[in-house]
């Protein structure tokens, strides 16, 4: 039996991942620590609250003695670290909490792992990062794992800073680490402040659907279950000290995303008059808004045999179906 500490497992991606790992690996016990901030919820863990191999701990990754006690009490073998402040707009309004949680929280986890694990064998620290650490692309090109980290928002800067600490703990202390950098995720349980749930909510509530600036900003979209499979591959087979891009080969502008969701809603829940796309409204652009993210994913595809599997419209259909009663109830 291996015991894995998952941080942020009541958040969007973390909760999907906890379910995925419990199902796939009967030999793993999961200790799930989450502070249940505005973004985390025990509702995301419904059905697995009393699972015999899942122990939920309400707590803060910045609380050193709590983390040290968890490592001792449960003999933690590995960490998969999702917990973070994650919303770019909030990081522009209040960067402090991003520095505290995303950088200092990561350092406490790294330090405890380093102090507890006597050697690198049979241990692993997996840091969940983002494509936003690379900064912004123009119309063409892709970021590879060799691209320089040039983050532009306080959120992406805090994620990149944490990555540097992960690297340092491998170089200096020999900690067994991997980093994965994923593109934008979508799926059920995402907090409704993020782009796709915001579009669905505003549409269903007959409110203007806000799109930053001209709506031409491009993101690469990845279905959350494809991300979970990729984390599994990197966690088990990635090489220590390496980073792996995880992308969906699925680039759309924000306006295209809004239009696609509106079309789906027109079919599923027609408005009394007009179409949902009539609600799409440009709002003042986000400060420092990155124009485009796109990833070269050859490394994970060639070395770890992972590829995204979910068709975008199929994944979006399932997501919209889940959010309709969620927002209308
Ligand atoms: N959502 C995406 O599109 C995306 C893309 C790439 C990378 N990521 C990364 O994946 C990870 C998870 O993202 P998400 O979208 O699921 O985020 P989320 O905001 O939905 O969840 C974050 C979770 O962390 C918890 N948390 C926050 N501060 C904490 C603290 N101090 N101690 C313990 N728990 C704390 C929250 O309660 C929440 O449950 C993050 O590290 C994020 O940077 C997300």
Q: Is the pLDDT of residue 118 over 90?
A: no
Ligand 1 pocket, mutate which of 84, 125, 163 (most atoms under 8 A from CB): 84
Q: Is the pLDDT of residue 119 over 90?
A: no
Same-domain status, 73 and 209: no
For 57-92, how does the pLDDT look when each residue is reduced to its tens digit (9 = 90+)? 999 999 999 999 999 999 999 999 999 999 999 999
Same-domain status, 226 and 258: no
**What range defines the domain where residue 209 resides?**
195-216+252-290+320-328
Residue 280 in any domain: the answer is: yes
> Is any atom of ligand 1 closer than 6 Å to the C-beta of 184?
yes
The 3-state secondary structure of the chain, one letter per residue: CEEEEEECCCCHHHHHHHHHHHHHCCCEEEEEEECCCCCCCHHHHCCCCCCCCEEEEECCCCCHHHHHHHHHHHCCCEEEECCCCCCHHHHHHCHHHHHHHHHHHHHHHHHHHHHHCCCCCCCEEEEEEEHHHHCCECCCCCECCCCCCCCCCHHHHHHHHHHHHHHHHHHHHCCCEEEEEECEEECCCCCCCCHHHHHHHHHHCCCCEEEECCCCCEEEEEEHHHHHHHHHHHHHHCCCCEEEEECCCCEEEHHHHHHHHHHHHHHHCCCCCCCHHHHEEEECCCCCCCCECCECCHHHHHHHCCCCCCCHHHHHHHHHHHHHHHHHC
Same-domain status, 302 and 239: yes
> Is any atom of ligand 1 closer than 6 Å to the C-beta of 102?
no
Catalytic residue among 134, 155, 244, 293: 155
Same-domain status, 281 and 157: no
For 161-180, how does the pLDDT look when each residue is reduced to its tens digit (9 = 90+)? 999 999 999 999 999 999 99
For 282-323, how does the pLDDT look when each residue is reduced to its tens digit (9 = 90+)? 999 999 999 999 999 999 999 999 999 999 999 999 999 999
Mean pLDDT of the chain: 97
Residue 315 in any domain: the answer is: no
- Could you tell me the CATH number of the domain that includes residue 298? 3.40.50.720
pTM for the predicted model, two decimal places: 0.98
Residue 18 in any domain: the answer is: yes
């Amino acid at each position: 039996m291996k015991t894995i500490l998952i941080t942020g497992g009541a958040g969007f991606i973390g909760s999907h991942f906890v379910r995925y790992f419990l199902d796939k690996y009967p030999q793993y016990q999961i200790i799930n620590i989450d502070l249940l901030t505005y973004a985390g919820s025990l509702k995301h863990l419904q059905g697995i609250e009393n699972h015999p191999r899942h122990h939920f701990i309400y707590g803060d990754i910045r609380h050193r003695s709590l983390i040290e006690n968890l490592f001792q009490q449960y003999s933690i073998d590995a960490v998969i670290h999702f917990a973070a402040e994650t919303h770019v707009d909030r990081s522009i309004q209040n960067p402090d909490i991003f520095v505290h949680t995303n950088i200092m929280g990561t350092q406490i986890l790294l330090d405890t792992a380093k102090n507890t694990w006597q050697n690198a064998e049979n241990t692993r620290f997996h840091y969940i990062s983002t494509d936003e650490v690379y900064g912004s692309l123009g119309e063409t090109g892709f970021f590879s794992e060799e691209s320089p980290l040039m983050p532009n928002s306080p959120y992406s800067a805090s994620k990149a800073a944490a990555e540097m600490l992960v690297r340092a703990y491998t170089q200096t202390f020999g900690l067994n680490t991997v980093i994965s950098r994923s593109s934008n995720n979508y799926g059920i349980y995402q907090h409704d402040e993020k782009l796709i749930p915001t579009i669905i909510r505003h549409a269903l509530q007959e409110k203007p659907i806000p799109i930053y600036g001209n709506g031409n900003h491009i993101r690469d979209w990845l279905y959350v279950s494809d991300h979970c499979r990729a984390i599994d591959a990197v966690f088990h087979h990635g090489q220590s000290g390496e980073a792996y891009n995880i992308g969906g080969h699925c680039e759309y502008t924000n306006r295209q995303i809004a239009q696609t969701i509106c079309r789906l809603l027109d079919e599923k829940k027609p408005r009394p008059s007009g179409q949902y796309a009539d609600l799409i409204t440009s709002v003042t652009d986000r400060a420092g808004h990155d124009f485009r993210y796109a990833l070269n994913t050859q490394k994970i595809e060639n070395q770890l045999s992972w590829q995204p599997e979910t068709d975008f419209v199929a994944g979006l259909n399932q997501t919209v179906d889940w959010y309709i009663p969620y927002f209308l109830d």
